[in-house]
Structure 1
């Protein structure tokens, strides 16, 4: 081959190499691995794997039980007017049905968070994908979610921001949207969300920001609460910065504008709405003052009467409405402060430091406990003095002995019927007759009264008379009567010593006993709790008014007799010229307790004072004498207890009222004639407590409720005041009952 041919051959090879050869050539480098076909195949493969994985995840992941924190609620205690007394529990949440949230308020949350809520399937794929990507790439924890997804996160899952939690949220949201109604999901969302100020759920939020229940929110307030959910702390108006306030107002406007856009709010109404500035935050009510006593006793009563276990109740979600009237509650507290606490110096006077007060006030027609005083302060004195039963009831027990006598038609040892006019020997330390157990009780100050009527024996609280009467009636019958009227006598011996009120009782218990008398013999069981509500169950409570446990005539006769205690006896501190009052004082052995339990036709109140060893002393929590307290040699029932009763009752009563009595005996009807005494009473052993002069020479003492006499057998004699003034005319209903002055002397009554 010549040179020319060789050159031509090389040129042809170069040209072939430049063009490449489709057949027989091989690809080199990265092009061997990435082609359009391979890329598309890989993409669709991953999609198929993802879909398969999601299907498997959907099949494997079930809707879990709601987490414990999301289920936790507080129990709410309210006064009878609906005002909140306290909330108890670790979480301030009260779940409410969606029906109790106004419809336009419901829509504010949808407008704020998820306008497509009623049309979507519970998830936002785009927002969820963005949230997953942000989490994976470390760009933060933000990401769009539907109301359903947020509800699932709050109720079923945790607040953790992880890929696995996001995927769980997606799957559970799809299932929840298919298994629950939109209303159920929305209710769950607004009840589990956190609104700031320690408030979980819309009910707690409504109270925290506007001081109202959720059912009373308006659309403007609802829009603010819906706006809060984006940033509760930053958007709380009272603590927000200028920027925070600007942002929450923008968010508020955004919510309302969305509602107009969706047709949920009229544009004209929208234009008139102004920003609803929330109230400043308030410290949650604690247990100080009387609150702790009320809450503890209400809980005890709920557990006693509802059939709920303590575990069920403490799971939360209960609204307990008390019968307590907040106005009367304040009046009772004021009366105790004014008539007792303000007169004691507990820090400097040892005797004053020993005095504990308790009181309970009951409506005799309904059995509702309208006011209760448990002690100086729950955080200082834990024991509730209104419900404690460890102190003797003393002479407040005496009316029950007469009630047993009248109910049984009992007779004296010589066969005479026992009535208000029956004559007994009032000699001090006279041994009772007819008893297998020897008993000879002294009268207060060891005073001998000689022959006296039962009426006067009640007025002056003569121990010897009622000890003998108890034996005449039969002590088992007396104890049975005490049980019928509401005292806890189980296991107590039926012995004559019980006639002095040696058994324990509480002011609440004694208020119930006397309320039964006031209610003409129909049993009254004081009820502190009016209702218990829970969204998932119905709670039934027993009726405080029970059956007729004693005859009306018996109950009314006792009321008539007890007016004499007030008009002409140891209860004279509560006399009132225009208001019928019946009651009984009581002072226990060694002055460890002192009582006044009294009533009008509309209100029954029992006040007890108890001697208790002060903290920091060797006698701490022990029963001790109250002698010397408040500057008195003896704290008797006719002193502080009666004064507290009068200050409270005549402030709380309103218009005066009269007893409607079906009886022919007692001080309110006709005072029996005083018997001729066989011997004058000897002087008492304690000079400062001399007995009152024998009033037998005075005109008959009658209650203001007595009526003019006629010749009919049922007629009633003219009414006279204890000071023998002319009969009092019926008062003008508009007349305001005044609080009587304190007794001129501070000598305790003999009870």
Structure 2
């Protein structure tokens, strides 16, 4: 027996699971119709839709003509008297049914030796050999057992079957009349749920989102051999009957009422009717209602339309709904490819698909007809289908004789292998949802399915981002770091704004460390302090105001409130090679000193620094925490201006060197603007969105990317800035593979006594890269493997180089150069505050140094810049190598001063801010469920 109660014959009638959540009707316990009847007079009332007359009891008598009431009366052990009743007439569907006996008084449901006269069924003409609705009268059955008990058993069986047929005939008659036929409404066509297919930029499936893997296709475009194969397997007389198979109904009734195999005897039209009306229970009432709907479907739609609805509905195993998903899944083909063309579904493949419908999934009692689970029975069922295709003339004898079972694609090792489930790239899906909403595609429309979304994700760049940033990757500089450490790696095409690679954590359902976008894609939940990497926007603002890199700045000048601006706690005599009072902006940028940037913001106005950041791509920025907003207030820079930014409690001049938290993805967009010669593109994850028109089969573009850029910074000024940022790559020894030119800026922000956020940003002309390393779920003091504090020029720069080198190799990129430097700006800008340098030293005639700037060749600003210190308190530019103890400012290009957050030596807030008042800049949200 199969799970639907039918004999496991390859030629048995097909059964198709209903919509999600429904139980196949033949899986249910038999109703009171298929067991013994209820005691006389205790018939169960039918549902309201069927209840008519007194008590809803079906009665057959021999009184005057009246209207028969069909309810849920039990038939089986009803009393049998001497009265005879008959059903006469030749009622047809759409006509008026006459029942030849009025109902007896309310009481027991009685059947009085009901004799069914030979005649037509009432479901259409019965004069053709192909008519499915005709059947003859009852016939006597003679058995070998002559005992009275045997005779009683045979008589009971005959009467039981006759009663079943009478009920069906009564139903048929009622169907033909206004009593029942008009009472059953034709349900609206089912709206089949489809999946949304998410592709990477190369067309590979990243995910199929939706409850069902289904693609609705127009019937008119479906290869006819597929339709014929389905008819051959499920209902070979589909094109001849009028929606109802009376022979099948009689066979099913006999089995159901005599305790045999429970059957449904449904045609393709009835199967679809059951699905459309969501008819699930097993009962004669259900069969009658199903028949009515089938007849009405046949009256409103032609056979091809009904076949199309059916093919888009059926389930074909392995999570595939509808014929298109099945063809793609089992053979990698589309049913829309016309017959005879390359990659069209063949008759043999069509027969495989059609044969699966009968039982798509394995059960405890039968393995079904999916060849990946049960090839033996699948082939047997396939032979049956092929034979019917030949019999019905849908294939030639030649095609039949050459038949060979086609090769089916094997089941993938894991359904997740073609999905983003549990994979880092899955984080992209929430950004996709957010962008769809921005395009005007609502959540409701998305949930309906049928969309194909092509993302910007390049598989090579995505792989490089994950392998560089994930602690789980053995090749990542993050490998071996504590579980409390987290990285984000974002790669953006500076020429288009496409996000080509996006690693924002290993758990796609957790916290989005790249965009801090909520799981529903509707809100930003956090950010990180960018430290000195934010200086690229301060420089862009300064260049706009005609400030030259040759301007000099005084590092000893105090703030207006009388506090000094510190630079990583370095001895003032070593800052800028001893030229702290007249330090040029270029050196200050490479060394990442804070004081010039503070005074740029003070001179041109911090609002102009924020404006430059906004123009580059920073859309949101957090204020410091306060009593009202303990974790800071998120400010939308696109909807506010100077009048807001300069209010008390918002942003001070420290914005110039990265005190205030931003979203890494938005920072990556801004970095791409600098890399892209000052042309801004909105960072985005979607290239195109198409939808298949179920009527025409054509794909319609319903959304797409906008790659037009906007020149927000002067290209000459950007070439000037890029040339300075090239030096940082050289100083940090981060030259890229094959000598590819690149620019970069490192940054660090403090936490407690060490580093809490570390960055390395920049890129090459082909790809902008942003790397952040910080705490997972909350701030932690970041350390390198040697126990020293981590800075941007340490692990983040290694991740950055690993990422870009991998992309260069995978894409076989040819070298590209940044534009040639054009020096811009006024070296004597009025905003600059550097003091006049002292006159050059004079030498004695004997050639001995009289003191000058390098006494005895040991002491003085003109001595070796790394004389025990440089800018590193005993480190030189890179004392400590890559870990920098670290490079430029007492522990790195960013150690503790400019990037340590504020200006207090060793990190901390500006000196006028007590340590106890420091805002807690932790992202407060836990990973989302």
TM-score by length of structure 1 reads: 0.74
CA shift for structure 1 position 641:
1.6
CA shift for structure 1 position 330:
1.6
The correspondence for 2:460, drawn from 320, 327, 341, is 327
The correspondence for 1:421, drawn from 550, 560, 566, is 550
SS in 2 for 1:444: coil
The correspondence for 1:646, drawn from 769, 777, 801, is 801
Greater shift after overlay, 188-197 or 437-446?
437-446
For each residue in 1:11-44, what CA deviation from the matched residue of structure 2 results, as whole angstroms up to 9, or x when unmatched? Answer: xxxxxxxxxxxxxxxxxxx9x9779999997758
**Counterpart residue number, 2:37:** none
Pair 1:302-2:423 in alignment: no
**Counterpart residue number, 1:733:** none
> In structure 1, what is the Cα distance between the partners aligned to 2:394 and 2:558?
87
Pairs within 5 Å for 1:522-561: 522-535=679-692, 539-561=702-724
Contact 1:92 1:198 in 2 (8 A): yes
Greater shift after overlay, 108-117 or 219-228?
108-117
**Counterpart residue number, 1:231:** 359
Pair 1:477-2:608 in alignment: yes
> In structure 2, what is the Cα distance between the partners aligned to 1:467 and 1:205?
64
For each residue in 1:375-408, what CA deviation from the matched residue of structure 2 results, as whole angstroms up to 9, or x when unmatched? Answer: 24446xx11211134210111111111211223x
Pair 1:51-2:173 in alignment: yes
Contact 2:771 2:799 in 1 (8 A): yes
> In structure 2, what is the Cα distance between the partners aligned to 1:139 and 1:267?
38
CA shift for structure 1 position 249:
0.5
SS in 2 for 1:599: strand
> In structure 2, what is the Cα distance between the partners aligned to 1:548 and 1:229?
58
> In structure 1, what is the Cα distance between the partners aligned to 2:252 and 2:614?
70
> In structure 1, what is the Cα distance between the partners aligned to 2:653 and 2:271?
72
SS in 2 for 1:559: helix
> In structure 2, what is the Cα distance between the partners aligned to 1:440 and 1:222?
81
Pair 1:625-2:781 in alignment: yes
**Counterpart residue number, 1:657:** 815
**Counterpart residue number, 1:362:** 492
CA RMSD in angstroms comes to: 3.9
Pair 1:403-2:537 in alignment: no
> In structure 1, what is the Cα distance between the partners aligned to 2:886 and 2:749?
16
Pair 1:511-2:668 in alignment: yes
For each residue in 1:151-183, what CA deviation from the matched residue of structure 2 results, as whole angstroms up to 9, or x when unmatched? Answer: 222233234332122122222222223333544
**Counterpart residue number, 1:431:** 558
> In structure 1, what is the Cα distance between the partners aligned to 2:329 and 2:85?
64
Pairs within 5 Å for 1:81-92: 81-92=202-213
Contact 2:217 2:692 in 1 (8 A): yes
**Counterpart residue number, 2:226:** 105
> In structure 2, what is the Cα distance between the partners aligned to 1:38 and 1:468?
105
SS in 2 for 1:572: coil
Distance 1:81 1:649, change over 3 A: same
> In structure 2, what is the Cα distance between the partners aligned to 1:235 and 1:510?
55
CA shift for structure 1 position 505:
2.4
> In structure 1, what is the Cα distance between the partners aligned to 2:726 and 2:551?
17
Where do 5+ consecutive residues of structure 2 fail to align? 1-79, 91-99, 102-116, 123-165, 337-342, 517-525, 621-636, 638-643, 694-699, 825-833, 839-859, 895-929
**Counterpart residue number, 2:112:** none
CA shift for structure 1 position 279:
0.4
CA shift for structure 1 position 217:
6.9
CA shift for structure 1 position 265:
4.6
CA shift for structure 1 position 655:
2.6
> In structure 1, what is the Cα distance between the partners aligned to 2:871 and 2:492?
39
SS in 2 for 1:371: strand
> In structure 1, what is the Cα distance between the partners aligned to 2:674 and 2:302?
56
Distance 1:84 1:475, change over 3 A: same
CA shift for structure 1 position 499:
0.7
Contact 2:327 2:334 in 1 (8 A): yes
SS in 1 for 2:734: helix
> In structure 2, what is the Cα distance between the partners aligned to 1:263 and 1:662?
75
Distance 1:631 1:533, change over 3 A: farther
Greater shift after overlay, 322-331 or 249-258?
249-258
Pairs within 5 Å for 1:248-327: 248-260=378-390, 264-265=394-395, 271=402, 273-285=404-416, 287-303=421-437, 305-327=438-460
For each residue in 1:514-564, what CA deviation from the matched residue of structure 2 results, as whole angstroms up to 9, or x when unmatched? Answer: 222333333211111233344468632451444333333333433333222
Distance 1:177 1:463, change over 3 A: farther
Distance 1:475 1:231, change over 3 A: same
Pair 1:62-2:195 in alignment: no
Contact 2:791 2:883 in 1 (8 A): no
Pair 1:197-2:318 in alignment: yes
For each residue in 1:426-471, what CA deviation from the matched residue of structure 2 results, as whole angstroms up to 9, or x when unmatched? Answer: x3x6435xxx777743223436212333222222222111111222
Contact 1:293 1:378 in 2 (8 A): yes
CA shift for structure 1 position 290:
0.6
Contact 1:235 1:245 in 2 (8 A): no
For each residue in 1:66-120, what CA deviation from the matched residue of structure 2 results, as whole angstroms up to 9, or x when unmatched? Answer: 56xx744444333223333333444444444446755543443233223444555
Distance 1:50 1:226, change over 3 A: closer
CA shift for structure 1 position 230:
0.7
Pair 1:79-2:216 in alignment: no
CA shift for structure 1 position 229:
0.7
Distance 1:153 1:677, change over 3 A: farther
The correspondence for 1:637, drawn from 776, 792, 796, is 792
Greater shift after overlay, 128-137 or 523-532?
128-137
The correspondence for 1:167, drawn from 284, 288, 310, is 288
**Counterpart residue number, 1:596:** 760
The correspondence for 1:584, drawn from 729, 735, 745, is 745
CA shift for structure 1 position 248:
1.4
**Counterpart residue number, 2:886:** 747
> In structure 2, what is the Cα distance between the partners aligned to 1:481 and 1:340?
37
Q: Which has the higher helix share?
A: 1
Contact 1:445 1:686 in 2 (8 A): no
The size of the alignment, in residue pairs, is: 631
> In structure 2, what is the Cα distance between the partners aligned to 1:36 and 1:148?
30
Contact 1:573 1:642 in 2 (8 A): yes
> In structure 1, what is the Cα distance between the partners aligned to 2:425 and 2:192?
26
CA shift for structure 1 position 138:
3.9
The correspondence for 1:393, drawn from 508, 518, 530, is 530
Contact 1:363 1:602 in 2 (8 A): yes
Pair 1:610-2:739 in alignment: no
Greater shift after overlay, 155-164 or 498-507?
155-164
Distance 1:39 1:405, change over 3 A: closer
